[in-house]
Amino acid sequence: MEGAGPVFVVLLGAPGAGKGTQAKYLAKALEVPHISSGHIFRVNLQVDSELGRKASDYLARGELVPDDVTIGMIRDRLAQADCGRGAVLDGFPRTPAQAEALDELLGERGARVAAVLYIKVDEAVLIQRLSGRWMCRQAGHVYHQLFNPPKAPGVCDVDGSPLYQRSDDTEETVAHRIAVYLRQTAPLIEHYRKRGQITEIDGGQPIEVVSRQSLAALPEG
């Protein structure tokens, strides 16, 4: 992909499908930033910013943050200099309005979505994954107590920051997040399929296999 214009990759999939895990891998391989809308909200919650206060109740309930707030946040993030070569978008867009806004935001830069990877995982597996997930405070690196444990318990391999379990990873909130995903985000699969941009990846395979197939699915990847 060297020499080409900016590369913006969208990852779609249910909560726990492995978007964050694969986004970190792809961003490193493509040398572009990993933009996780959920992570940006969580960082803002932690520092109690205005954005964090706006998003707080929605995150706690497993509901989507309103489109205007989310789109404004992504607009600001994409305007930063490190997005000049593209980005891996994890968790955005999540509604038709967000997909439309993304096209506009990229269009203003003479860019477009290069590929959409739909990471597909059985629903029963999602709960098991989220209940064993641990994340690092600093950058959202993702672990699983069984499937992808850190080298030292409770410490991020990459940046040494403490690991924590997300408060929206309780069984009840996860079930609601999956329902919200099916109602509000799953229709985007068809939207991007019609545009001939979607590649379906079997996310039930080991992490390394999903990574390999994801990278291979990118244009000229």
Q: Any binding-site annotation on 142?
A: yes
Task: Rank residues 1 and 204 by Cβ distance to ligand AP5 and give the closer one.
Answer: 204
Annotated catalytic residue, options 54, 77, 94, 129: 94
211 lies in the site for ligand AP5, by CB under 6 A: no
94 lies in the site for ligand AP5, by CB under 6 A: yes
Closest separation in Å from C-beta 12 to ligand AP5? 9
- The yes-or-no answer on residue 19 being catalytic is yes
Closest CA to 94 of 12, 201, 215, 15: 12
86 lies in the site for ligand AP5, by CB under 6 A: no
- The yes-or-no answer on residue 177 being catalytic is yes
33 lies in the site for ligand AP5, by CB under 6 A: no
Three-class SS string for 18-81?
A: CHHHHHHHHHHHHCCCEEEHHHHHHHHHHCCCHHHHHHHHHHHHCCCCCHHHHHHHHHHHHCCH
Burial environment of residue 31 by CB neighbours within 10 A (0 to 12, 13 to 18, 19 or more): exposed
Residue type at 210? V
Task: Rank residues 1 and 56 by Cβ distance to ligand AP5 and give the closer one.
Answer: 56
Regarding beta strands 113-120 and 198-202, do their DSSP bridges make them parallel or antiparallel, or are they unpaired?
Answer: parallel
8 lies in the site for ligand AP5, by CB under 6 A: no
Annotated catalytic residue, options 24, 54, 77, 177: 177
- The yes-or-no answer on residue 94 being catalytic is yes
129 lies in the site for ligand AP5, by CB under 6 A: yes
Q: Is 92 helix (H, G, I), strand (E, B) or coil?
A: coil
88 lies in the site for ligand AP5, by CB under 6 A: no
Task: Rank residues 30 and 180 by Cβ distance to ligand AP5 and give the closer one.
Answer: 180
Task: State the DSSP H helix or E strand holding residue 10, giving kind and residue range, or none if neither.
Answer: strand 7-12
Closest CA to 24 of 210, 221, 219, 217: 210
Active site residues: 19, 94, 133, 166, 177
Q: Which residues would be at the binding site for ligand AP5 (CB under 6 A)?
A: 13, 15-21, 37-38, 41, 58-59, 62-65, 70, 91-92, 94, 98, 129-130, 132-133, 142-144, 147-148, 177, 203, 205-207, 210
